[in-house]
Chains A and B, each alone.
Chain A
Amino acid sequence: MIWKYLKTLFGRQSVNTTKPIESHEVCRRFLFDGKLVKRNQVKHQAFAPSKKTGNVSIFLKDRFLSEEDYQLTRKTVSNKRGRQCKAEGEFIANAVDKVRNEVGYFLREGQFVLELDETDFPHHANLDKWPSDKPSQKQLQQALAAKVSLINL
């Protein structure tokens, strides 16, 4: 147990956490509600910004040093939420740019961006700075959901 902790601790230190998110990075969204999935497709509401934080929480899968580290983080997040992670939605970081180009004509500079936020967890990012009007939010969510692959757990 101690070894696992030290390994995680030193592993984290060896990673440059300020490294900007690159377009090819794999992003994973934890899905805690089975109703967010239908016919092996992730529904748009999986990417609805949280009422509490105003953003969508994402993990950068390939930045974890091992699958074990990733699963440990998922378990920690699940415990914090008090709900089991039912599935994951996976997309490549540049999908955010594709969505912006596809349907985001209404976005202002700096809106709808993927930003690193490792305040609570390493290798964590937020899909942040959403437009305030709900129709635009829905359209962005639908366009992103269409580019997401379902990962069954």
Chain B
Amino acid sequence: MTVLALPLNDRDYMERQAPTLRFSATGSLSINKTVNNTFDSDSQIIACEPESLSQKVESNVFSSIYNLVLRSYSELAENEEETVQLDAIPIFLELLERPLFQKFEEPDVSIDPDGEINAEWLGEDGQSFTFSVGGKGRIIFSLYLPQGRKLCGETRIEDDLEIFEDFIRSAIG
């Protein structure tokens, strides 16, 4: 096991929201499921097991996140923006390990102002698909195609990710 030691993110986490999935084009759909928090929000150490990750994710995405985290602490904090939600890292990597994402090109990885880790695929002429992951497992996703579909929603890592993946398949094809 490789242990990545990072500074303590001691900010109070946002209140957990009800697990919901909302499609802007089709109305609201609520999903009620038991929420199990598998990550300790006060942890100082994020443990990852690179041997369980594909080489692509380990070598590229993981190093991108690591660099973003270091930068987040040195630059975002100076500008009083939020620093990265460390507990989001293993969740984010877990998502990118899912077979669906293996078919995609590597996303641009960045940190949102609220500290969530964001992946984005930017197409031509303003097309974009993005999702962000929070430390308590919240997943925000949004698709914008200027001449096509415009959808956004929210789900949780504990929820049935098949719904999230179905959304991506139906949206992107």
Contacts and interface: CB of A to CB of B under 8 A. Distances in A.
Interface of A: 35, 38-39, 41, 43-45, 48-52, 81-83, 102-103, 105-106, 133-136, 138-139, 142-143, 145-147
30 contacts: A35-B110, A38-B108, A45-B120, A48-B113, A51-B113, A82-B78, A83-B75, A83-B79, A102-B150, A103-B150, A105-B24, A106-B24, A133-B154, A134-B114, A135-B24, A135-B141, A135-B142, A135-B154, A138-B140, A138-B142, A139-B142, A139-B144, A142-B130, A142-B144, A143-B144, A143-B150, A145-B126, A145-B128, A146-B127, A147-B126
Nearest to A103: B150
A44 B128 contact: yes
8 tightest A-B contacts by CB? A146-B126, A142-B144, A138-B142, A135-B152, A139-B152, A51-B113, A134-B140, A52-B80
Contacts of A81: 79
Nearest to A54: B113
Contacts of B78: 82
Nearest to B151: A139
A139 B112 CA distance: 14
B152 A50 contact: no
B139 to A, nearest CB: 10
A134 B154 contact: yes
B90 interface: no
A69 to B, nearest CB: 25
A137 B118 CA distance: 14
A147 B150 CA distance: 15
A113 to B, nearest CB: 20
Secondary structure class of chain B's binding surface, majority of residues: strand
Contacts of B154: 133-135
B82 interface: yes
Given A43-B122, A50-B113, A135-B22, A146 B152 contact: no
Interface string B74-87: 01001111100000
Interface in B106-137: 108, 110, 112-114, 118, 120, 122, 125-128, 130, 132
Contact of B152 (A35, A39, A41, A138): A138
B80 A142 contact: no
Nearest to B142: A138
A51 B82 contact: yes
A74 to B, nearest CB: 17
B146 interface: yes
Given A83-B75, A105-B24, 19 more contacts: A35-B110, A44-B144, A45-B112, A48-B112, A51-B80, A51-B81, A82-B78, A103-B24, A103-B150, A106-B24, A133-B154, A134-B114, A135-B141, A138-B130, A142-B126, A142-B128, A142-B144, A146-B128, A146-B144
A48 to B, nearest CB: 5
A147 B110 CA distance: 21
Contact of A43 (B108, B150, B152, B153): B108
Nearest to A52: B80
Interface string B91-105: 000000000000000
